[in-house]
Amino acid sequence: NLSDKLDKALHILKGHGQITEVNVAETLKEVRRALVDADVNYKIAKEFTATVKEKALGQNVLKSLKPGQLMVKLVKDELTELMGGEVAEVDLSGKPSVILMSGLQGSGKTTFSGKLANFLKTKKTKKPLLVACDVYRPAAIDQLHVVGDQINVEVFSDKGNNDPVAIATAGIAHAKANGHNVVIIDTAGRLAVDEVMMTEIANIHEAITPNETLFVVDSMTGQDAVNTAKAFNDVLNFDGVILTKLDGDTRGGAAISIKSVVNKPIKFIGTGEKMEAIDVFYPSRMADRILGMGDVVSLVERAQEQFDEEEARKLQKKIAKNQFGFDDFLKQIQQIKKMGNMKDLIGMIPGAGKMMKNMDIDDDAFKHIEAIIHSMTLEERTKPQIINSSRKKRIGAGSGTSVQQVNQLLKQFDQMSKMMKMMQGGGGKRMMQMMGK
Ligand code: GDP
Ligand code: MG
């Protein structure tokens, strides 16, 4: 469940307050497993962790102030670097700029052609033209027209013509004559790499000398994606990779493997069937995703900032003396609220984002709790055991809640106090771990 995941992540991050050499090895083993789980080639994953380990030892991570965080940063930076580091742009300098799509059948070329046209039109105020060069299936041409209609972009096609080179050339001429400054050429793919397909795409490539040749690949195909990328790159020496179908559970390890093998930047990702489901590829965000860490690092940092050390110490004493009361609880809630929007916070917890998507967490999650506490007398807040049924009724009425809700809070508070006593010494930070329970 949620808190288990958080516990685990924090555990790996922070070790037991101090990272030992054993912990470094353990952390890296965990990272390697995450990489392999995310479809990264085992050999690449192993090389990667070896590099990180070397750097960690070189930078004296073990002796640093916050070894866990430094370790995570090292892993993340290295992974980001492995995927190209910076965002890679598409060349739009041509007049017009010609962009050629390549890739297997079903990889998402036609869909991505539409997404890119829509992206360039809205984000870069370009006037794109889509050109239909998949001449084998009449349905393929229709599909591009449907896409073009959806996004209001003109589609150039020539249904009787079965020469893709001629259509591509005519498409570019049409673009020049009609003021289009970007031409996106959609081509035919096949189910597997074969010579006919490669010869055809090589011929188109040679005839039109595109500004950008993009290789579109289905990220769900895992290791196969790497072999396909290599085959296309050998023939086309393409300029960039488009990773499609990164919605759902796909973790995107293909990004690392492909980059390692063909050494070409990933430029965009596709995250759904809709025309809006396109994103610029950010190596650092993909590093987060692959590590499955959500934004744990910034979550920890924010938690540390907000939980005042002094307050935490006072609280610890109170817990030890069994004096933790509703007033203290109220303070805790206010501190948690200071950390920001509940949804944002939960989104930063690894694995939780998806789980919580269908849950209704509003920012007023604590509203009832606060109202109930405010309706208590000072004595009730410090000695909750005196709250009998007539007091419950009064508190419920005063806070606009029900006796049941008051009961529920009392029960939760009781459990929480017990738990706090149990893990005495953790102070405010431990609150984080309990939030999910
Ligand atoms: P092509 O044969 O390379 O032109 O591939 P298509 O563009 O026709 O896409 C093949 C299938 O994949 C279609 O059903 C698309 O809707 C779907 N598809 C394309 N990109 C994505 C994506 O990013 N996410 C998801 N979930 N589906 C996609
Ligand atoms: Mg197609």
Kindly list the protein residues that place their beta carbon closer than 5 angstroms to ligand 2, a single-atom ion: 109-110
What is the model's pLDDT at position 172? Answer: 98
Instruction: Report CA(112)–ligand 2 centroid distance (Å).
Output: 9
pLDDT at 181 over 50: yes
- Nearest-ligand number for the alpha carbon of 111: 1
Please provide residue 313's backbone torsions phi and psi, each rounded to the nearest 5 degrees: -65, -45
Average pLDDT over residues 142-155: 97
What is the model's pLDDT at position 366? Answer: 75
The type of residue at 302 is: R
Does 3 show up as a binding residue in the annotation?
no
DSSP type of residue 192: S
From the alpha carbon of 269, which atom of ligand 1 is closest? 23
What is the model's pLDDT at position 334? Answer: 73
Does 427 show up as a binding residue in the annotation?
no
Reported confidence tier of residue 123, pLDDT bands at 50, 70, 90: confident
- Rounded to whole angstroms, the Cα distance separating 415 from 409 reads 10
pLDDT at 124 over 60: yes
Average pLDDT over residues 24-39: 75
In tens, the pLDDT along 184-234 reads 999 999 888 898 899 999 999 999 999 999 999 998 887 788 899 999 999
Greater confidence (168 vs 335) lies with: 168
Average pLDDT over residues 319-324: 76
Rounded alpha-carbon distances, angstroms, from residue 331 to 141, 243, 300, 369, 414: 63, 46, 20, 12, 17
Instruction: Report CA(105)–ligand 2 centroid distance (Å).
Output: 7
Lowest-confidence range among 73-77, 87-91, 343-347? 343-347
DSSP type of residue 279: E
pLDDT at 431 over 50: no
Does 106 show up as a binding residue in the annotation?
yes
Rounded alpha-carbon distances, angstroms, from residue 343 to 2, 289, 347, 364, 370: 14, 18, 6, 11, 19
From the alpha carbon of 134, which atom of ligand 1 is closest? 4
What is the model's pLDDT at position 420? Answer: 67
Instruction: Report CA(273)–ligand 1 centroid distance (Å).
Output: 6
Nearest residue (CA) to ligand 1, atom 26: 272
Nearest residue (CA) to ligand 1, atom 6: 108
pLDDT at 50 over 50: yes
What is the model's pLDDT at position 430? Answer: 46
Among 100, 104, 111, residue to substitute to test ligand 1 (most atoms within 8 Å of Cβ): 111
What is the model's pLDDT at position 3? Answer: 34
Q: Output the ligand 1 site: residues, CB below 6 A.
A: 103, 105-111, 189, 244-245, 247, 270-273, 277
Whether pTM exceeds 0.90: no
What is the model's pLDDT at position 342? Answer: 61
Lowest-confidence range among 123-127, 157-161, 353-357? 353-357
pLDDT at 97 over 50: yes
Lowest-confidence range among 219-223, 333-337, 353-357, 399-403? 353-357
ipTM over 0.95: yes
pLDDT at 338 over 70: no
**Domains by residue range for the chain, with CATH:** 2-82 (1.20.120.140), 97-291 (3.40.50.300), 296-434 (1.10.260.30)
Lowest-confidence range among 73-87, 332-346, 371-385? 332-346
Greater confidence (5 vs 258) lies with: 258
What is the model's pLDDT at position 329? Answer: 80
Quote the percentage of the chain above a pLDDT of 90. 41
In order, the DSSP letters of 331-399 are: HHHHHHHHT--HHHHHHTSTTHHHHHTTS---TTTTHHHHHHHHTS-HHHHH-GGG--HHHHHHHHHHH
Reported confidence tier of residue 305, pLDDT bands at 50, 70, 90: low
* Spatial contact of 39 and 254, defined as CB atoms under 8 Å apart: yes
